[in-house]
Amino acid sequence: MKLFQEFFDLGVDWTCCKFKLDGMSYQCVITERGENHILVKPTYVDGIYEPDRVKITLTKDTFDEIDLYILDDDRGNNETGIGLEGSYKPWRRFENQKKEVA
Q: Which of 71, 60, 15 is nearest to 34 (CA)?
A: 60
What domain count does the chain have? 1
Report residue 38: phi and psi, to 5°. Answer: -130, 150
pLDDT at 102: 46
Residue 27 lies in a domain: yes
pLDDT at 2: 83
Start-to-end CA span in the chain (Å): 26
Domain span at residue 16? 5-94
pLDDT at 83: 56
Residue 102 lies in a domain: no
Q: For 7-36, what is each residue's pLDDT tens digit?
A: 777 666 678 899 999 999 999 999 988 889
Residue 100 lies in a domain: no
Over residues 81-86, mean pLDDT: 61
Residue 101 lies in a domain: no
- Whole-number average pLDDT of the chain: 82
